[in-house]
Chains A and B, each alone.
Chain A
Amino acid sequence: MRIINFLKSRPFIQSIAAVAANAKIFGFFTGKIWQGNSKVVCVPGLNCYSCPGAVGAWPIGALQAVLGGNKHNFSFYVVGILILFGALLGRVICGFLCLFGFIQDLLYKIPTPKLKVPQKIDQPLRRLKYVSLAIPVIALPILLTNQFGIAPPYFCQWICPVGTLEGGIPLVLGNESLRSMLGFLFSWKMGILVFTILTSMLIYRPFCKYLCPLGAVYALFNRFSFYRMNVDETKCTGCKACEKKCKMNVEITKNINSPECIRCGDCKSVCKQGAITSGFCSRRQTEVAA
């Protein structure tokens, strides 16, 4: 029973997902990235495709590549993949399948004082991730191109700390020619990475809450996805133990399918009444829960 519980636990599933997305481990020793055809497929979570171990593409980078190229101003392929992932799972991907989400979970476990961001600051900051999706990921690659109609992946270049962590550091360590090219951009990105790591020790998943454009996409789907959570009002006593437990600060009793819920299941495990359920709801289940 204990083994089954372990296999079903979130850290175990997160570890498996992290290894599966970075299965080409030998790349870390050679300082090169995998160049196989599997990279035509996008992985669901944030996993830089320039990570030496990466076996797939990361959807937000792929979206910027198509939008910033000179052939198309819209990517049916990548948007279709995002819709499919979002409609099926919503932010289950954030809770269980994203490597950077997992890294932030681990950083938050480091015993340091924890900060609670006041609601007045937290609420407006949560909208920043939609801005980060709309401007550097979508608008700039379409509008700000060079004379050949090509644009760099602005979000990855100037904001994302993951490329530095997963790609930059291991590749620069293992590749002499890359080391000779380092300049201002690398220092800037190292600064962002260090800041993200430090804040992740103090605040639960700051990058997910405030900046991640992929999280913003999946947040839009939480209300409609096949995977859903429900609070059974006939069982709920209103004690709000679940809301005290939730590190994403979701108002569970009001809206458990909030865009901010990463489906971690902490609330479910703390509810003594068993009022919270989750899963791939059929029509009947939805009706009963409603």
Chain B
Amino acid sequence: MTKRTRNLTLYAKYGLLAVGVLFIALGLLREEQLVVLKKAVKICLECIGVG
């Protein structure tokens, strides 16, 4: 691993962490979590192979 790829990997790790947190915050602002909750609390008939 060259010094350049090593540094890139390091930036990528922290960058991804930051993007992950930012995305979750954006998703919460758009209230996407409510769509997730609504789907998860009802039996998903397609998923279990009934509907």
Contacts and interface: CB of A to CB of B under 8 A. Distances in A.
Nearest to A160: B47
Interface of A: 33-37, 39-40, 42, 48-50, 54, 56-57, 61-62, 65-66, 69, 71-72, 75-84, 86-88, 152-153, 156-157, 160, 163-164, 167-168, 171-172, 178, 181-183, 185-186, 188-190, 221, 223-226, 283, 286-287, 290
Contact of A72 (B24, B25, B30, B51): B30
A172 B50 contact: yes
A152 B33 contact: no
Given A33-B43, A78-B32, A84 B51 contact: no
Nearest to B11: A224
A185 B44 contact: no
Interface string B5-20: 0100110110011011
B45 to A, nearest CB: 8
Contacts of B40: 39-40, 49, 54, 56-57, 61-62, 65
B48 A80 contact: no
Contacts of A50: 43-44, 47-48
Contacts of A71: 35
A47 B38 CA distance: 17
A231 to B, nearest CB: 12
A64 to B, nearest CB: 9
A185 B36 contact: no
B21 A88 contact: no
B21 A168 contact: no
Interface of chain A, main secondary structure:
helix
Contacts of A83: 16-17, 19-20, 23
Nearest to A283: B10
Contact of B48 (A40, A69, A164, A290): A164
B14 to A, nearest CB: 9
Given A80-B22, A81-B24, A87 B35 contact: no
B21 A84 contact: yes
A225 B30 CA distance: 28
Contacts of A87: 13, 16-17, 20
B41 A168 contact: no
Nearest to A51: B48
Contact of B17 (A35, A56, A88, A168): A88
Contact of A84 (B24, B35, B41): B24
Contact of A40 (B6, B9, B12, B33): B33
Contact of A77 (B9, B24, B43, B44): B24
A225 B13 CA distance: 6
Contacts of A181: 45, 50-51
Contacts of B6: 286-287, 290
